[in-house]
Amino acid sequence: MVLYNFKRITVVPSGKEFVDIILSRTQRQTPTVVHKGYAINRIRQFYMRKVKYTQTNFHEKISTILEDFPRLDDIHPFYGELLNHLYDKDHYKLALGQLNTARNLIEKISKDYVRLLKYGDSLYRCKNLKKAALGRMCTVMKRVSPSLAYLEQVRQHMSRLPSIDPNTRTILICGYPNVGKSSFINKITRADVDVQPYAFTTKSLFVGHTDYKYMRWQVIDTPGILDHPLEECNTIEMLSITALAYLRAAVLFVVDLSGNCGYTIAQQSALFHSIRALFANKPVIIACNKTDLQPFETLPESDKKLIEEMRKEAARAGAGLIDGPPPDEENCMLPMSTMTEEGIIAVKNAACEKLLQMRVEMKMKSKKINDCLNRIHVAVPKVRDHKERPPVIPQGVLEARAAENKAAENKRKLEKDLENENGGAGVYSANMHKHYLLLDPDWKDDIVPEIMDGHNIADFVDADILQRLDELEREEDERAAAAEGMDEDEDMSDQDLTPEEAEALAAIRRKKKLMLAEHRAKKKTADNKPVVPRRHDIERQFNTSRMGRHLSNLGLDPTAAVNRARSRSAAGTRSRKRDRSEGTGGDGMEVDEQANKRMRSRTRSLSRPHKEALPGEGFKDSAQKVKAMQIGKNAVKERNKDARKGEADRVHYNKKPKHLFSGKRGTGKTDRR
């Protein structure tokens, strides 16, 4: 039997998307330019190629869809019956048949129109035949749009189905709704099935996996089954019945002893007997759940009798018997509780053991075992005599073992050895206090007082600490009082000064305060504080007289500083005065000439030519500067022509963007598929 991975089925497009995909591919993969001046054979071949290519694309796409969907007659009966209940086998086959018919029709249309194109006598007639061929193909695909939509829904649902292997070791859980089936699979596997306190929470098959005897086991949780005829079962119940009928597994029938599921033990027993035919040749175990609410011993005798009958029927089903005395089976009925997890592992182990034993017996009865036994020979030694021959160990080996044991006893135990002796990782917790150096070794495991750096804090606590703290506080108070007395003495000393000394002291303090403020301002602004220009000194406050008074107040001789400031400004003043005096004594022509000279001198002083070499620029003269400027201008000329941002700009722009200079659009056609 072939096992399918339903998640790999190709996506089925709708009818319109199907046509768009094929026509777009034909437009892109075949030539698009033909002229009426071409030979007629070339024109025929041009349009015949388009028709054949379109038919090939339709054939490949439809064939892929038909091959990916499983054929119900070729897969395992479990999958075939499951798909029949979920999607209606007739509808499923009809949809695939319609796709197959559409593929054949498209192939027939292609052959007919290729035959007609061979006799096309003009470009116009060949073009119309091509349009008719592609139009009929698209019409055929649009007619099967409902089948494509149905197959896409089936594909989406099949991709969500659990991956069930019908031939592996399987445990199948069944019973009435809300009896604890999903809770059981959550306990023994990593599955996360939704558990709610109402019926039919599980609406499909859920799969989990567990291990037993180093083998992987498949556990399937089925939806609840109700006790009514098979014809009245809905789709959810038919999933459980299909799994019971077609999967070779160990059946775990869960019974709710407490009755909280809403069904009595008599109803659950009736369901067991009604589906007994599905248990044939399968190991069956009756799992009595919810023993934490209703122990088995406290049940009425009538309920115990019903459960006993179910146990006998389970034993007969496991042995393949229909009537007669049941075989002695001890593990056919086991109590458990999914709430307290009591008995869950025992039920799982019993089910796995029964199924494993049955699979071994079936293999022993098959014909394959004979081929294996022919190649197996078991050698049994014959008894030679009755003399006892105990094992002999050489003396040297015994001495070596004794030496190894003695060395192992004297060896210092490591933390790894202690961990292995006391339960291993996760159980053993290393003692981090045993290497602490304390006065008394019994203090190592004390919790209070705390231990820090291997030392007990209590060992360093002074008994007279409170007394010494009081002494420190008194000493601090005395020092504070002494400091206040010194401040008062300083204030009194200021009162003993003469008026001249007091004025000098005040000036010094003001100067000190100004210096401190200036230092803070410079530190804050980093010498970025602007200086008020002289032309903004409207009130003429910053003059030589003020500077002289300020220096005199500081006790300095201001004569040299004042003379130096006056000498710097005297030259300009004298020249301006001299110009005015000379201008008043001459005629008008001399006045105009002097005014023109003054204007030219001012103009030259305000702006220098940019080609003039200034000290500090690194040029020998103005000619060298002019030459350097010309070389720099020539260097950036080529870069500016290419619109470069700088010397490091190496960007090469795309001169012909592909989206603007490629494609097969004709004149006036601006829309692209």
Kindly tell me if the per-residue pLDDT of 527 is higher than 50: yes
Kindly tell me if the per-residue pLDDT of 48 is higher than 90: yes
pLDDT digits (tens, 9 = 90+) for 80-122: 888 888 888 899 999 999 999 999 999 999 999 999 999 999 9
Contact 146, 223 (CB under 8 A): no
Host H or E run for residue 333: strand 333-335
Higher pLDDT, 215 or 599: 215
241-278 burial, b for 16+ CB within 10 Å, e for fewer? bbbbebbbbbbbbbbbbeeebebebeebbebbeebbeb
Contact 193, 206 (CB under 8 A): yes
By C-alpha distance, which of 196, 191, 203, 192 is closest to 180? 196
Q: Looking at residue 532, what is its pLDDT?
A: 56
Contact 152, 10 (CB under 8 A): no
Token duo for residue 328: 């002695």
Higher pLDDT, 390 or 664: 390
Determine the average pLDDT of the residues in 358-364.
85
* pTM of structure: 0.53
Kindly tell me if the per-residue pLDDT of 612 is higher than 70: yes
Residues ≥6 apart with Cβ < 8 Å to 79: 4, 70, 72, 166
Q: Looking at residue 143, what is its pLDDT?
A: 95
Banded pLDDT at 673 (limits 50, 70, 90) = very low
Kindly tell me if the per-residue pLDDT of 14 is higher than 90: yes
Residues ≥6 apart with Cβ < 8 Å to 313: 272, 273, 276, 284, 326
Kindly tell me if the per-residue pLDDT of 443 is higher than 50: yes
Q: How high is the mean pLDDT of the chain?
A: 83
Higher pLDDT, 557 or 463: 557
Q: 434-438, 508-512, 555-559: which has the highest mean pLDDT?
A: 508-512
Q: How many CB atoms lie within 10 A of CB 46?
A: 20
Kindly tell me if the per-residue pLDDT of 520 is higher than 50: yes
DSSP string, 585-646: HS-HHHHHHHHHHHHHHHHHHH---TTS--TTS--SSHHHHHHHHHHHHHHHHHHHHTT-SS
Compute the distance between CA of residue 458 and CA of residue 7 in angstroms, rounded to an integer: 70
Q: Looking at residue 324, what is its pLDDT?
A: 61
Determine the average pLDDT of the residues in 260-285.
90
Kindly tell me if the per-residue pLDDT of 589 is higher than 50: no
Q: Looking at residue 571, what is its pLDDT?
A: 53
Amino acid at 19: V
Kindly tell me if the per-residue pLDDT of 599 is higher than 80: no
Determine the average pLDDT of the residues in 633-647.
85
Determine the average pLDDT of the residues in 128-145.
95
- 211: β partners: 216
Region of 453 on the Ramachandran plot (φ > 0 left; ψ -120 to 50 alpha; else beta): left
Kindly tell me if the per-residue pLDDT of 448 is higher than 60: no
By C-alpha distance, which of 176, 170, 272, 153 is closest to 219? 170
Per residue, the 3-state secondary structure of 234-259, as one string, reads: CHHHHHHHHHHHHCCCEEEEEEECCC
Contact 217, 352 (CB under 8 A): yes
Kindly tell me if the per-residue pLDDT of 420 is higher than 70: yes
- 476: β partners: none
Q: Looking at residue 394, what is its pLDDT?
A: 93
Residues ≥6 apart with Cβ < 8 Å to 472: none
Percentage of residues in the chain with pLDDT exceeding 90? 35
Q: Looking at residue 74, what is its pLDDT?
A: 84
pLDDT digits (tens, 9 = 90+) for 192-231: 898 888 888 888 899 999 999 889 999 999 999 988 888 8
Per residue, the 3-state secondary structure of 21-32, as one string, reads: HHHHHHHHHCCC
Contact 425, 419 (CB under 8 A): yes
Q: Sign (positive/negative) of CA torsion 212, 215, 221, 226?
A: negative
Kindly tell me if the per-residue pLDDT of 524 is higher than 70: no
Higher pLDDT, 120 or 490: 120
Cα 480 to the chain's mean position, in Å? 65
Percentage of residues in the chain with pLDDT exceeding 70? 85
Residues ≥6 apart with Cβ < 8 Å to 38: 46, 123
Q: Is beta strand 455-456 parallel, antiparallel or unpaired with respect to 250-256?
A: unpaired
Banded pLDDT at 631 (limits 50, 70, 90) = very high
Determine the average pLDDT of the residues in 426-446.
83
Min mean pLDDT across 142-146, 234-238, 278-282, 329-333 is at 329-333
Q: Looking at residue 53, what is its pLDDT?
A: 96
Compute the distance between CA of residue 91 and CA of residue 83 in angstroms, rounded to an integer: 11
Determine the average pLDDT of the residues in 297-305.
90
Distances, alpha carbon 147 to alpha carbons 63, 98, 152, 153, in Å: 15, 7, 9, 10
Kindly tell me if the per-residue pLDDT of 597 is higher than 80: no
Compute the distance between CA of residue 409 and CA of residue 402 in angstroms, rounded to an integer: 11
Contact 548, 562 (CB under 8 A): yes
Q: Looking at residue 67, what is its pLDDT?
A: 92
With vertex at residue 531, the alpha carbon angle to CA 526 and CA 534, rounded to the nearest 5 degrees, is 170
pLDDT digits (tens, 9 = 90+) for 138-156: 999 999 999 999 999 999 9
Q: Looking at residue 23, what is its pLDDT?
A: 93
By C-alpha distance, which of 233, 318, 243 is closest to 280? 318
Percent helix, strand, coil in the chain, to 5, is: 55, 5, 35
What is the SS3 assignment for 223? coil
Q: Looking at residue 588, what is its pLDDT?
A: 47
Q: 167-176, 322-331, 372-381, 523-532: which has the highest mean pLDDT?
A: 167-176
pLDDT digits (tens, 9 = 90+) for 391-416: 899 999 999 999 999 888 888 888 88
Q: Looking at residue 313, what is its pLDDT?
A: 87
Kindly tell me if the per-residue pLDDT of 386 is higher than 50: yes
Banded pLDDT at 584 (limits 50, 70, 90) = very low
Kindly tell me if the per-residue pLDDT of 521 is higher than 90: no
Kindly tell me if the per-residue pLDDT of 168 is higher than 80: yes
Higher pLDDT, 539 or 564: 564
Kindly tell me if the per-residue pLDDT of 515 is higher than 80: yes
Q: Looking at residue 572, what is its pLDDT?
A: 52
Kindly tell me if the per-residue pLDDT of 184 is higher than 60: yes
Higher pLDDT, 488 or 195: 195
Q: Looking at residue 185, what is its pLDDT?
A: 93
Determine the average pLDDT of the residues in 310-320.
82
Q: Looking at residue 619, what is its pLDDT?
A: 85
Q: 239-253, 308-322, 461-475, 555-569: which has the highest mean pLDDT?
A: 239-253
Distances, alpha carbon 398 to alpha carbons 388, 394, 404, in Å: 22, 7, 10
